[in-house]
Chain A
Amino acid sequence: MLNNTLLSGKLVRLAAITPEHAEVWAKWRMNSEYLRLADLGPAIFNSVKATHDWMEKHLDDWLEHEFSIRTMDGDQLIGTTGLDGNMKAHGDAFVGIGIGEADYWGKGYGTEAMSLILGYAFMELNLQRVSLDVFEYNERAIHSYEKSGFKIEGRMRNALLREGKRWDIVFMGILREEWLLLHPDPPAATP
């Protein structure tokens, strides 16, 4: 038997993205705190139209492995998560995750979405490891990633300058065998 709940958990599920989400995506980008947690580049919003056009153009490249995060209760679109990187040649991907709806921060939604995308990365894409980088000041995220099994693999010193202060970019990673140790009995193994 295969694991037919690969994409869903208790709080959230991973679902498709569509340019029709542009309005919600654009709304999330009005929150500068969100942008400064998520993006290395300067915090800036985009129009709904520009967002829509960008999504349409990049559905098959940048957004090839990008998912919507939707609540199990109420099916609300609350964020996105996705993978990109040297997947084919090296079995390594960078994961990105963002809960755009600030009401859902700090309540386990992001952590569960991360565990779903890791399951997808290791059990469907058959990756060997998953990487991420996170800003030093985003302590809530670092804590969540550690709960998901990521280990800190280094720090790019002072790589970020915000509010007049220099911050490290923290690199984290989880190996396939580490993930398997944390999931000794995935549903897939149960006949």
Chain B
Amino acid sequence: MNISDSLFEGKLVCLAPIDHEKDPEVEAGWTHDPAFMRMMYTEPMRPLSVFQVKKRYEELEKKIDERNNQFHFRIRASADKRLLGFCDLHWIAWPNGAAHLQLGIGSPADWRQGYGSEALHMLMRYAFAELNLYRLTAIIPEYNTPAIAFFSKAGFREEVRRRQALARDGRRWDALGFGLLVDEWKDRART
């Protein structure tokens, strides 16, 4: 990769800022879908109105500005700039070069199309080649088997298994921590 190779433009997707006009309606739709929300978040899901999502975007941008420990991206289709999902790096501990990441594609119709994979590769490059981080962590609920496969394929390894840390649908599930070190990312990028 070179300086001239775009960090933000991929083949299928691009990383972009929030569109405060158009995005809230799309994201409010996602918050009504348990299949998405319960995979993405451990907090109890609840549907959000367009108004509430707008407010959250404003709070988020304020926090980004104040804390200097997170980077957020909207994932858009390269072809028509349609909003597909989002990804972020958060809880960045600068002295340790460590960060957590999150990535979601909102609509089930857009799953398994390669959008998430390309976005993850762009996010990893941003983390390791622009922010010069040393390691990334993804927290995944045990029941999110697509995410386990998704991150494993990208080279992440299971490091932590907090037994029965989550309660959903009347039973308990482990909370998994997956990690990737910069050298592991480099080795894979080379081959």
Chain A positions within 8 Å of B, measured between CB atoms, are 40-42, 86, 89-92, 128-129, 131, 153-161, 166, 171, 173, 175
Contacts and interface: CB of A to CB of B under 8 A. Distances in A.
Contact of A156 (B43, B137, B164, B165): B137
Nearest to A174: B163
B165 A173 contact: yes
Contacts of B97: 161
B42 A86 contact: yes
B114 to A, nearest CB: 29
B170 interface: no
A129 B167 CA distance: 11
Interface string B164-191: 1111000010010101010000000000
Nearest to B95: A42
Interface string B79-100: 0000000000000010111100
Interface in B126-182: 134-135, 137, 158-167, 172, 175, 177, 179, 181
A90 B96 contact: no
A49 B159 CA distance: 40
Interface residues of A: mostly helix, strand, loop or mixed? Answer: strand
A89 B161 CA distance: 19
B30 to A, nearest CB: 20
Given A40-B93, A90-B167, A156 B181 contact: no
Interface of B: 42-44, 93, 95-98, 134-135, 137, 158-167, 172, 175, 177, 179, 181
Contacts of B177: 154, 156, 171
Contacts, number: 77
A131 B165 contact: yes
B159 A156 contact: yes
B134 A158 contact: yes
B163 A159 contact: no
6 contacts: A91-B167, A153-B162, A156-B159, A157-B135, A157-B159, A158-B181
Contacts of A156: 98, 135, 137, 159-160, 177, 179
Contacts of B181: 157-158
Contact of B160 (A40, A154, A175): A154
A89 B42 CA distance: 9
A92 B172 CA distance: 11
A122 B84 CA distance: 42
